[in-house]
Amino acid sequence: MLFSESALPSANGRARAPYVVQVTRADLVHALTHVTVVDATGAPARPDQTLLVDGATITTIGPSAEVPVPRSAAVLDLTGKYLIPGLVDMHVHSGGADVDDERLAPALYVANGNTTVREMWGRPQLHEWRRRRDAGELLGPRSIIGSPLVDGAPALWSDIPGAELGIDHPVLVATTPAQARRAVAEAVDGGADFVKVYSRLEREPYLAVLDEAYRRDIPVAGHRSDNFPLAEQIERGQRSFEHLFGLGPATSSDPERWEAALARIALGPDFYFGSWFTQVGQVEWDAVGDYSRPAATALFDRIVAADVAFCPTLVMHAAIDLPDFVRTDDPLLRYLPPDTPEAWSFLQREVFHDGGRSPEVEARRRVLFDHRRAAVAAMDEAGVRLLAGTDNGTPGTLPGFALHEELELLVGAGLSPMRALQTATLEPARFLGCEDRSGTIQPGRIADLVVLDADPLDDIRNTTRIHAVMVEGRYVGPAERRELLTTAAAVAAEGGVPPVGPDGRDRGEVGSTRGW
């Protein structure tokens, strides 16, 4: 196994359990010749390089004129191409109900260069996909799989009509420390790699989750709790915080006031998540008006000191903050079932928009989204570890494609293309404790690679211009990649949107359609 050689230090000095991911090997030696290498270390791009890949491992990198190519190697002439590490989406929700066909999400991840994903809502099908992938029976990304959601009562997703919307993921409700400890035990017994905590956990159950997780040597990641200050939570041992909900109160000039407002949220009778989302949005809006740069700087310094990561999921926030971001006529919808637009419309209208928004609220949400982007830039400047994640499954986000939009949004927020790329390569490897085996292009690293037609450091949108992908030494060339996309479209849409757009290009070759 990889990613499991050593324990990781926790925010409170105790050992943290590493993430464990199985690795399978290819058996062929590949020579990738005459390629420009963008290794994600922060170094400038290196032109005309040759890489040797033996099985699943990069063994040699150097100027093409200086690297002898074994006669037995499969030679891939990549003149004019660019090579980046395989991309990691650190917040996904794959499959569910009518999208559990393994020819959909796993294939779309690989076709889009997503060679590793972190599944943030565990269920049995994901473990079966991982088992089959590790056995060499399924082409897909490596996966780190979380537990079912551990939430308070009422759990935010407990009243969504899951069968109609393709949501069949389990929730573990914990209102007491004893229930919280049982939830952790159930997560461990179910094979989870980490415990996923959610927004409505009360303080004592939340702390019990962390204590029991430490006792059982399993990491904790997920939402911040609404019910006590974020500044305290970051120092309690949670490894990563997902999304930007509730960051505003903690970066205001009066955090006690706005944190107390979060804790007072009471869920309405119809669609708990919609009720919660509307109220959180109001608290965030009020807190943004009270924003304090010194308070934000102090909080970010504490996050850095605690070695805690943030996964902003800007693409998810764009989808639910900005009404024109989600397109139910998006050509990429051909990779999802035909009823997806209807499900997206329901979620947008009844859950995320709580039955509708006034023009005033819409204008506020746009301002709030701009504030979120500024907060991400400030966190990056302060040295906070940022992880690229998409929350795919949210309306407007598609497996594999959404990660490229996230990178584009991160650059739009103020990150350099290299820093954005590192949030999906180097930083996940550091977070997962496998920097010596993954996340960059160097000898000894796993051969997770993406071949591009253009330089991503010139324009981050060039990550969508994918020529080929390598997954642990398994080369997926242009023809096989097109086949993955064609098959996914046929499985999902049963002949829905034509595969070729009006410009004559395969829509599967196009990343963002939103113009960010």
Strands, E assignment, 55-170: 57-63, 74-77, 82-85, 87-92, 114-119, 142-151
Question: What is residue 7's predicted lDDT score, i.e. its pLDDT?
Answer: 32
Taking residues 152-169, report their average pLDDT. 68
Query: Helices (DSSP H) in 353-400: which residue ranges?
Result: 359-382
pLDDT, tens digit, 9 for 90 and up, residues 26-77 = 678 999 999 999 999 999 999 999 999 999 999 999 999 999 999 999 999 9
Sequence-distant (≥ 6) Cβ neighbours of residue 385 within 8 angstroms: 304, 307, 308, 309, 310, 427, 430, 431
Q: Is the pLDDT confidence value at 460 over 60?
A: yes
Render pLDDT for 98-120 as a digit per residue (tens, 0 to 9): 567 889 999 999 999 999 999 99
The answer regarding whether domain 8-25+83-509 maps to CATH 3.40.50.1370 reads: no
Q: How confident is the model at residue 354 (pLDDT cuts 50, 70, 90)?
A: low
Instruction: Work out the angle at residue 64's Cα, subtended by the Cα atoms of residues 61 and 65, and round it to the nearest 5 degrees.
Output: 125
Place of tokens 């430490």: 214
* pTM for this prediction: 0.91
Decide the pairing of beta strands 194-197 and 220-222: parallel
Mean pLDDT of 9-18: 40
248-270: per-residue pLDDT in tens?
999 999 999 999 999 999 988 77
Q: What is the pLDDT of residue 346?
A: 81
The residues, any chain, with a CB within 8 Å of residue 68's CB and separated by 6 or more, are none
The runs of H, that is alpha helices, within 289-358 are 293-305, 314-321, 340-346
Residue 329 has a pLDDT of: 85
Q: Tell which wins on pLDDT, 398 or 170.
A: 398
- Cα 184 to chain centroid distance, Å, stands at 23
> What average pLDDT does the segment 467-483 reach?
98
Phi, psi of 22, rounded to the nearest 5 degrees: -75, 150
Cβ atoms 18, 137 nearer than 8 A:
no
Q: Comparing 152-161, 367-376, 459-468, 499-508, which segment has the lowest mean pLDDT?
A: 499-508
d(CA 147, CA 188): 8
- The radius of gyration of the chain's CA atoms, rounded to the nearest angstrom, is 22
Of the candidate ranges 211-220, 231-240, 340-349, the one whose mean pLDDT is the lowest: 340-349
pLDDT band at 8 (very low <50, low <70, confident <90, very high): very low
Using CA atoms, how far residue 310 sits from 227, 307, 369, in Å, is 19, 10, 17
Using alpha carbons, select from 493, 465, 365, 388 the residue that is nearest to residue 40.
388
CA 100 to chain centre: 19
Average pLDDT along the chain: 88
Over range 457-486, report the average pLDDT: 98
pLDDT for res 355: 65
Instruction: Give the length of the chain.
Output: 516
272-288 and 359-382 helices, crossing angle to 10°: 70
Q: Largest alpha-carbon pair distance within the chain?
A: 70
**pLDDT band of 169, cuts 50, 70, 90:** low
For the stretch 126-151, pLDDT in tens is: 999 999 999 999 999 999 999 999 99
For residue 161, what pLDDT band results from cuts at 50, 70 and 90?
Answer: low
* Beta-sheet pairing, 171-173 with 142-151: parallel
Res 351: pLDDT: 73
Name the token pair of 121. Answer: 């809502």
Is pLDDT above 80 for 6? no
Mean pLDDT of 340-358: 78
So what's the pLDDT on residue 14? 41
Does position 10 have pLDDT exceeding 90, yes or no? no
The three-state secondary structure class of 2 is strand
CB atoms within 10 A of CB 495: 10
> How would DSSP label each residue in 334-345?
GGS-TTHHHHHH
Structure tokens at 199: 């927004």
